[in-house]
Amino acid sequence: MDGISAMVGYVYDADGNRVAKGPITAWSCDPTTNGFESSAYETDYVLNQSGQTVTETTKSDTGVMQWNFTNVYANGVLFATYDAQGLHFLLNDWLGTRRASTDYEGVLESLCASLPYGDGLNCTNSPQSPNEQHFTGKQHDQESGNDYFGARYYSENDARFMSPDWSAKVEPVPYAKLGDPQSLNLYGYMLNNPLGGVDADGHLPQCDVCRKLINWLSSSHSASASASVSGAQGSAGNGFISGTGKAGTAQASASASYGLNTSSSAKASASVAEATLHEGTHSTTQMNSVTANAGASVGVSLGGKSGVGISASAGANADVLRASQSETITLGPVTITGGASGAVGIGADASANLGASGFGASAEAVFGYGGGLTFNVSWGGVTGTAGASVKGDINSTTTTIQKPEVQPQ
């Protein structure tokens, strides 16, 4: 084409990951006709399951593919590269941008400096050595000066993406939050706060866990099960959610719904009864009683006045009863577990909530009773725990609150 002295073509796999690049001679996306397959200096990439470059090879002028380097990752972070000169360790800042590299003995090889948006990159050695991953660990293309983020290409000098943000589901303004005007700029990087975090894939910055949580809660599911029996058993379910009631003479029910506000509950009114609710692998609710009215519930809320939060409660009014509720949610690297239980002679209840404002718990009982509640959150090798318990008799009540603790696993 007139005015263009050189062109580079890019090849992507079925998942949209870039797997090769190289010079082309014609303005076409067909590698069999645009000169890509016959060109020298074609570069191919071997990727891991996360789409990160593991090995790079380049075609020589004789048409032979030659190995350039192999990258080493730990927990998704690039920390070493092996090439013809040996092993190199890469030292990054908190955003994953390379700041230095050493050889296998720890001898300093290069120092790199750049501005917050990645522009002004200056390394004491070649920027291409030992690999091209620099700004937040993304691959820098020398031919264009852009960084490959997966979904889009980013220009360090312009501090913006080269194309507007997009989503698989067609939306007028993808990923936008009307309360944050910066999110309305579909070309902006990190909401114009480059030191505030990392854009993982070229979409509007949003943690993977948050994105999975929103997708999970955005779908609606519901099911219920009930039984009114005498010396029998009743059950119902829809595959993901199931409930069972067993009784001598009893009425038992269980229900669950999933959406932006997620909840599950189970109740029993029985002489000799048991009610159990299973919601996939997430939740289990169970009551066992002699003569009882009992209930247990757990809920997850996303949005609204209260923001994101988790709550759980269990209660009973019975002669002899045990009621419990447990909930486990696993989203990427985060696992949240909550449980509530009560065992009573007359009546008891326990409740707790975990939200943006912190953790709160309470427990109350009358006469002979006991109850407890626990919360566990695991994320990236760190576990946080909190809980509350109560026990007592006709004369006294003891309530214990376990303050939140964070411990490495």
User: Based on the domain organization, do 60 and 131 belong to the same domain?
Assistant: yes
Q: Is residue 169 part of a domain?
A: yes
Q: Specify whether 172 is located in the same domain as 261.
A: no
Q: Kindly state whether residue 352 falls inside one of the protein's structural domains.
A: yes
How far apart CA 111 and CA 93 sit, in angstroms, is: 12
Q: Is the same domain home to 162 and 298?
A: no
For residue 197, give the 3-state DSSP assignment.
coil
Would you say 110 and 101 are in contact if contact means Cβ atoms under 8 Å apart? yes
Q: Which pLDDT belongs to residue 54?
A: 95
Q: Determine the residue type at 197.
A: G
Are residue 232 and residue 378 in the same domain, yes or no? Answer: yes
> Residues 221, 362: one domain?
yes
pLDDT (0 to 100) of residue 254: 63
Last residue of a domain, one of 204, 229, 250: 204
| 198 shares a domain with 268 | no
> How far, in Å, CA of 288 to CA of 250, rounded?
11
Do 242 and 135 belong together in one domain? no
Burial state string for 296-330 with b = 16 or more CB within 10 A and e = fewer than 16: bbbbbbbeeeeebebbbbbbbbbeebbbbbbbbbe
384's enclosing H/E stretch is strand 382-392
Q: How far is CA 115 from the centre of its chain?
A: 29
Q: How far is CA 69 from the centre of its chain?
A: 30
Distance CA 189, CA 168 (A): 20
Could you check whether the bond before residue 205 is cis, i.e. omega within 30 degrees of 0?
no
Longest dimension (CA), the chain: 94
251 and 176 inside one domain: no
Distance (Å) of CA 139 to CA 97, 134, 318, 336:
11, 7, 65, 34
Is 210 within a domain? no
Query: What's the confidence (pLDDT) of residue 297?
Result: 67
Query: What does the pLDDT read at residue 270?
Result: 57
- C-beta neighbour count of 263 within 10 angstroms: 16
Residue 371 belongs to some domain of the structure: yes
Last residue of some domain: 204, 227, 251?
A: 204
pLDDT of the residue at 227: 60
> Is there a single domain that holds both residue 303 and residue 182?
no
| Number of DSSP helices (H) and strands (E) in the chain, helices first | 1, 28
The range of the structural domain enclosing residue 299 comes to 215-408
Q: Is there a domain that residue 130 lies in?
A: yes
Whether residue 267 is contained in a domain is answered as yes
Residues found in the chain: 409
User: Is residue 2 a part of any domain in this protein?
Assistant: no
Check residue 154 and give its pLDDT: 97
**How many domains does the chain fold into?**
2
Cβ atoms of 352 and 338 within 8 Å: the answer is: yes
The number of C-alpha atoms within 13 Å of 336 and in the hemisphere containing its C-beta is 15
Burial (0-12, 13-18, 19+ Cβ within 10 Å), 384: middle
Regarding whether 241 and 171 lie in a shared domain, the answer is no
Cα(249)–Cα(370) distance, integer angstroms: 26
**Do 33 and 122 reside in the same domain of the chain?**
yes
Q: Of the residues 174, 204, 234, which one is the last residue of a structural domain?
A: 204
Residues 134 and 221 in one domain: no
209 inside domain: no
Residue-level pLDDT at 67: 94
* pLDDT tens series, the chain, 409 aa: 455 567 898 999 998 999 999 888 888 888 888 888 777 778 999 999 888 999 999 988 788 899 999 999 998 889 999 999 899 999 999 999 999 999 999 999 999 999 999 999 899 876 567 788 899 999 999 888 999 999 999 999 999 999 999 988 888 888 888 888 999 999 999 999 999 889 989 987 654 445 455 445 445 556 566 666 556 566 666 655 666 666 565 566 666 665 545 566 666 665 555 667 666 665 666 666 555 566 666 665 544 444 445 666 666 665 555 667 676 766 556 666 777 676 656 565 666 665 544 556 665 555 565 666 676 666 656 676 766 666 666 566 666 666 666 565 5
Q: How far apart are CA 372 and CA 389, in angstroms?
A: 4
